[in-house]
Amino acid sequence: MQGQTSYSSGMDKYVAASSSSRPTIIQLPDYALQQFADSGTIIPTSACIEASGFDTDPILPRALGAYSLEGVLWGMPFNVSNPVLYYNRNMFTDAGLDPDDPPVSLEEWRDAALAIVDSGVSVNPVVLDSSPNAGGGWFIEQWFGRAGELYANNGNGRLARATEVLYDNDLGAELMTFLQDMINDGLAMTVGDNAGGQDNFLKLVDPATPGAMTIGTSAAMGTVLQALGSGIAPGLTEEDFDVGPMPGPGPEPGVQVGGASLWIVADKPDEQTAAAWDFVKYAVEAQTQSTWAAATGYVPMRADATELDPLAETYVTDPRFRVAYDQVLSGSDDITANAPALGPLRAVRAETARATAAIFGGADVEATLADAVVADNALIASYDERN
């Protein structure tokens, strides 16, 4: 087993490696889906399921759908996550807000930020970022899915190969204008590209000008709570922070499935492939998923894991861990609830993130989105020509 510093590093090494030096299993997120399906280097998980009679009934249908193309499951969902709202309960109370009733819609999010500023509790009520894997890319896809709108054509690439992205439409302009207005009105600030995925959380415990709210992956919950418990922020404990659904368009929560899956690499000796499938089956057993989710903040990819300790007890004693799971259950079954399947999705997110950063800095929303869409569609066309 060899750990990587990031999913991006793992993907780059996999693509550059020869077939003989590739691992037998690799763990990568949704942006690998179309590329792996086109590569001929991955054994479809569907084939393993059919050959072994593996029971998929307990697995969350939306988790299976996240890694499926045209009815073929390519990767086995393992560490499921989605964005949630992290917020300071004390600041909510001091601002006259109910800490047990966090904002769910974008309008409620803005109202909460305004109350925090007007009460003098914080000058940074909302902490944003423009990371491709968060506020500059992934979150935008999430908001499109929640609004029931396609981010890319051909059913987000799930019905046929996507040829263009669509985020320069009215919804995209409304979302970006909303965020830009939040910054311009002093209701939000940005920590930039947030490459390490920590800067937004660190701003919440900034001793000088702490933020009150930020959106981050549920996968960080275990780490965040552990850090608070260790005394990283004097005067604050893990009980001072809470977790709510990701604010977004409309009054009801709902998210696309994030995280990563396990992919079995082709052209390995039969005994290695069989051992790889045995490991995947172990990794997605109900007890394994219960233990994993309770320790991290990831969502179990199968419903029966929630009935087993330690996760069953954790969901009762610390409901913060259940928020992300409930968001998956409350999400739509519409095709827009699946993330876009694009061969160059990682590069597309990077381009979208550059546009987001520019908009946060005051750039014209519609013109910036239009330019980004042109660049992203060129990336898609180039990929399709090669594949």
**pLDDT at 162 exceeding the cut of 70:** yes
- Is residue 290 located within the same domain as residue 161? no
Joined together, the tokens standing for residue 292 give 């994993």
- Say how far apart CA 145 and CA 157 lie, in whole Å: 13
Q: Is the pLDDT of residue 277 over 80?
A: yes
Strands 258-265, 42-43: pairing is antiparallel
Closest CA to 104 of 319, 253, 254: 253
Mean pLDDT of 204-213: 96
pLDDT at residue 19, rounded to an integer: 83
Residues 158 and 237 in one domain: yes
Q: What average pLDDT does range 55-82 have in this prediction?
A: 96
- Quick one: 179 and 266 in the same domain? no
- The whole-number pLDDT of residue 12 equals 83
Question: How many domains are contained in the chain?
Answer: 2
d(CA 23, CA 361): 42
* β-strand partners of 245: 84
Q: What integer pLDDT is reported at residue 110 of this predicted model?
A: 99
Same domain, 323 and 364: no
How much is the mean pLDDT over the chain? 95
Euclidean distance between CA atoms 319 and 128, whole angstroms? 25
Question: Amino acid identity, residue 2?
Answer: Q
Q: Is residue 72 pLDDT above 70, yes or no? A: yes
Q: Are residues 225 and 193 in the same domain?
A: yes
Give pLDDT, residue 130: 98
Same domain, 134 and 215: yes
CATH number of the domain within which 224 lies: 3.40.190.10
Which residue from 69, 294, 254, 6 is spatially nearest to 143, judged by alpha carbons?
Answer: 254
CA distance 267 to 292: 30
Structure-model confidence comparison of residues 82 and 19, the more confident one: 82
| Predicted local distance difference test score (pLDDT) of residue 302 | 98
Task: Identify the domain containing residue 27 by its residue range.
Answer: 7-81+259-337
Residue 147 phi, psi dihedral angles, 5° rounding: -80, -5
pLDDT category at 103 given cuts 50, 70, 90 is very high
Question: Which pLDDT belongs to residue 292?
Answer: 96
Total residue count of the chain as it appears in this document: 387
- Indicate whether 2 belongs to any domain: no
* 58 domain residue, yes or no: yes
Distance CA 327, CA 339 (A): 15
pLDDT at 5 over 80: no
Global pTM?
Answer: 0.96
Q: Within a domain: residue 1?
A: no
SS3 content of the chain, % helix, strand, coil (to 5): 50, 15, 35
- Report which of 235, 189, 241, 281 is spatially closest to residue 84, judged by C-alpha positions: 241
Structure token digits, residue 235: 């005067």
